[in-house]
Amino acid sequence: MVSSPASPTATGAMSAIHVNNNSSSSSSSSSSSSNSGGGPPPILKSSPPVRILPSQLARIYSFAHPAAVLLGFAVRFPQLVNDPVSEMLNALPFLAASQVVFAIICLPPAGGSLDNTPGSSSSGATPSGTSSSSSNIILRPGRPARRKGGSGGSGGAGAGVGGGVLGGLGGKVIPSLLALILTALLATPVLAILLVLFGAPFTTHHAQTALCAAHMALLTAVPLVYVHGVDGAVWREVWGAGRPADAVWGAALGTCVGAWLGAVPIPLDWDRPWQAFPITILAGAYLGFAAGTLLGRTKWVYGKRLRFAEEGELADKKRE
């Protein structure tokens, strides 16, 4: 959703060698087909869907987290209705903290796996830094390795952040810091613009829109940035909503679709205080986040992509 305008001029990348347990091989192979861009078509392979870390804690917490987030939202709902702005503002740090904790416990950080050596994680922590042919090795069965996106153009940010300092914990701290910074600086404004484009008030309710966007950014962007860093290919897929489904992308898409559905009760003439602008949107976003997180991992959805190209071809064929 964010970084596509800064799309890299980039270079080839290694194709990811990965074993995808559940998703059909056809979907993943079709996902990484060629790209016809404006310039010389770069053949970019985007990263495969992300799995929750295999540890027991991660498994349990990955279910507990969306439930806890929803529960927290439900508990604070009356306060939200009473004073949306201050409640949304007060809830921001808690949401941010819980999202980061979720990411650290359950998700593989950008640029490397947990048991990467410091050396390999240094190349990984600058996820889009160099277009080095880094290792795309399955480090553990069932968990696809991170591919190092070859994208020199947008690498500035990554390189700046990722600098090189990295130790064992750094492999998790740096991505979470990066996630928080990018969420605040990029994802929130972009989501605010999207909210306005989808019909949020433009001349009034600025605080509400901004805070709603901040909440949605925390729900969507923190896990995405944590896992993918500033990988241009991934973000281009995000821009086209073409990521393969997993918990992280499911959460992001679910949040946005939920927010869209959240607009449904607003026109009703019930004159309830909760029908005020950001409340239903935010409630929809939270519900969508929980649903998307859980749904994206199920084996029926995992690895599948949202795509519409076939229909055009079919229709064209039919026309002929």
Partner 1 sequence: MAVVSGLSAILIANVLIPLAIAIFSSGFFPYKPLVSGLAKCEDLEQYVKPPFDKVIFMVVDALRSDFVYSNASGFTFTQSLIRSGAALPFTAHASSPTVTMPRLKAMTTGSTPSFLDVIFNIAESDTSTTLAFQDTWLAQLRARGDRLVMYGDDTWLKLFPGMFDRSDGTTSFYVSVSRQSTIFLVYLRYQVKPTLQDFTEVDHNVTRHVPSELLQDDWSAFIMHFLGLDHIGHKLGPQSSHMLRKQREMDSVIGELYASIEREGHLQSTLLVLCGDHGMNDAGNHGGSSSGETSPALLFISPLFKTMGGPRHQAPIDIPDDFQCYKTVDQTDIVPTLAGLLGFPIPLNNLGVFIPDLLGVWHSYSQRTKVLLANAKQLLRRLEHSFPDHKITVDQLPGRCTTELLTSMHEAQCAWLQVMSLVDNSISTGDQDELEPALKRFLSSAQEVLTNAASDYNLRQLLLGIGAMALAVLLLLPHAYKQLSISMHSGAFFAGLIVSYGGMMFASSYVEEEHQFWNWIFSAWIFLLHVKVASRRSCASSEQLPISNGSFSSSMAQYATLGLFATHRILRRWNQTGQKFAAEPDIAHGFLPTHLYILWLLVIVTYVDICVHLSNGYHSSKPWRLICIAVTATAFLFKLGSVVSDFPELLGTTHIGTLKQAFNKVPLILLSRIVFVGLLLLILVTLYSRKITCKKGPVKLGMHTRVMHEALTLLLITQSRTTNIPLFLIFRLQAVTFASMNLSGIELTITSLLMQYMTFFAFGGSNAISSVDLSNAYNGIDHYSFFLVGLLTFVGNWAGPIWWASAARRLRYRQTWKGREVHMTTLTFHIATSSLCVMIACATLRAHLFIWTVFSPKYLYMMAWAVMGHLGVNLLGEFS
Please give the residue ranges that form the binding site for partner 1 (CB under 8 A): 30, 33-38, 41, 196-199, 202-203, 236-237, 239-242, 260, 263-264, 266-272, 305-316, 318-319
Contacts of 183 (CB under 8 A, 6+ apart): 96, 217, 218, 221, 222, 225
- Tell me how far, at minimum, the Cβ of 299 lies from partner 1, in Å: 22
- Tell me how far, at minimum, the Cβ of 245 lies from partner 1, in Å: 14
- Tell me how far, at minimum, the Cβ of 237 lies from partner 1, in Å: 8
Secondary structure of residue 244 in the 3-state scheme: strand
Contacts of 63 (CB under 8 A, 6+ apart): 294
- Tell me how far, at minimum, the Cβ of 297 lies from partner 1, in Å: 22
Q: Which is nearer to partner 1, 142 or 240 (CB)?
A: 240
- Tell me how far, at minimum, the Cβ of 290 lies from partner 1, in Å: 21
Tell how far CA 124 is from the center of its chain.
18
Q: Which is nearer to partner 1, 141 or 269 (CB)?
A: 269
Which residues does residue 244 pair with via DSSP β-bridges, in sequence order?
305
Q: Is the dihedral of CA 97, 101, 104, 106 positive or negative?
A: negative
Do the beta carbons of residue 113 and residue 139 sit within 8 Å?
yes
Q: Which is nearer to partner 1, 10 or 52 (CB)?
A: 10
Q: Which is nearer to partner 1, 299 or 318 (CB)?
A: 318
Which CA distances in Å does 299 have to 21, 145, 185, 189, 296? 9, 19, 34, 34, 8
Q: Which is nearer to partner 1, 85 or 196 (CB)?
A: 196
- Tell me how far, at minimum, the Cβ of 298 lies from partner 1, in Å: 20
CA nearest to 127, candidates 105, 99, 152, 101: 152
Q: Which is nearer to partner 1, 34 or 133 (CB)?
A: 34
Which CA distances in Å does 208 have to 22, 153, 217? 41, 35, 14
